Amino acid sequence: MPRHLTSSPTPTGARVRATVEVLREFVAAIKSAGSMGLPSGHLYAAVMQYVELEKYNQLIQILKDTGIVREVNHCLFYVEQAQAKGSVTAK
């Protein structure tokens, strides 16, 4: 994951593309966890050297706000209906 995912005032095309790719990878990881879900802390631990905690929380919130992911007791679950919305989905 690119180091430039830290906060900056003006997003560039490259930064937006990188962010979308990170969202896709998050979705893929969450989806692969299946019905048991993926503990959010485990996902963050895997990416913490690349993504600051505040940015991680913002990215997860985007996935929750768009209905792609739901969170129950800090565990992330993929929501199947999200694909019909044309949102960011796993490859």
**Segment 12-34, tens digit of pLDDT:** 888 899 999 999 999 999 999 99
pTM of the predicted model as reported, rounded to 2 decimal places: 0.76
Q: What are phi and psi of 7, to 5 degrees?
A: -60, 140
Residue 82 has a pLDDT of 44
C-alpha to C-alpha distance for 29 and 5, rounded to whole angstroms = 19
Q: Which CATH class is domain 3-85?
A: mainly alpha
Distance CA 72, CA 17 (A): 29
What pLDDT, on a 0 to 100 scale, did the predictor assign at position 36?
Answer: 95
- 10-residue averages of pLDDT along the chain (91 residues): 55 88 96 96 96 96 96 96 55 53
